[in-house]
Amino acid sequence: MRLRNKPWAKEMINDNLDLISVQPTDMQGKWQSKFEKEQPLFLELGSGKGRFITDLAKQNPQNNYIAMEVQEGAISLLLKKQVEMKLPNLQLLLDNGSKLSELFAENEIDGLYLNFSDPWPKTRHEKRRLTYKAFLEQYKYVLKDDGHVKFKTDNQGLFEYSLISMNNYGMKFDEISLDLHNNEGLNLNNIQTEYEEKFSKKGFRINYLKAHF
């Protein structure tokens, strides 16, 4: 979902470049320098308004996190939160997910989160899905050998497509659930996104998987 432009967004971004990077060209292998200390580094691709990634960062101070979003309107709302919270283990990134191998060095990321990505249901838009093989190739490049991808969606079609796409790419599945919120073992430490909470309350099942290369 595309958010309306925020007239204050650009000014806020320009005033807080210590908290957000905008289409950087020289950060490959250097992301740890953005944080107070070097720790395992995790990336959320498509952070939206940021409830998931901020809660995750607060609960896990032993890790560093990057919230990546292509929409200026969405990431500006997340930046507004981070200006107030100043979480030392969270950095924001405004850029396109199709450029991961240009933004990050090989084996730089410990784990990747995909939460409620745009399903792009039309066949002609397949290449835009974040679990399309071209994206998986980039994930494999930036992730460490023991790195993982965690994926959640309420869209059954996208989930089925993702299972097939990842399997065809040779990925191995560690965890799979077709109803995450009713899977006590997997849901125990689940952090919900704004979208997830809204649609699960309406009865939508949440699909989840964890996989590695």
Instruction: Break the chain into its structural domains and give their ranges.
Output: 7-212
Record the pTM. 0.95
Report the b/e string of 96-115 with b at 16+ CB within 10 A: ebeebeebbeeebbbbbbbb
pLDDT in tens, the chain (213 residues): 455 567 788 899 999 999 999 999 999 999 999 999 999 999 999 998 899 999 999 999 999 999 999 999 889 999 999 999 999 999 999 999 999 999 999 999 999 999 999 999 999 999 999 999 999 999 999 999 999 999 999 999 999 999 999 999 999 999 999 999 999 889 889 999 999 999 899 999 999 999 999
Looking at the domain that runs over 7-212, which CATH code has it been given? Answer: 3.40.50.150
Annotation-wise, does 126 bind a ligand?
no
Annotation-wise, does 44 bind a ligand?
yes
Residue of 40, 28, 33, 38 whose CA lies nearest to 18: 33
Q: In what order do the strands lie in the sheet with 41-45?
A: 20-22, 90-94, 64-69, 41-45, 109-115, 143-153, 207-212, 172-177
pLDDT at 24: 96
pLDDT at 8: 82
Residue in this structure with the two tokens 């060209």, named with its chain if needed: 25
Q: Tell me the catalytic residues.
A: 118
Annotation-wise, does 122 bind a ligand?
yes
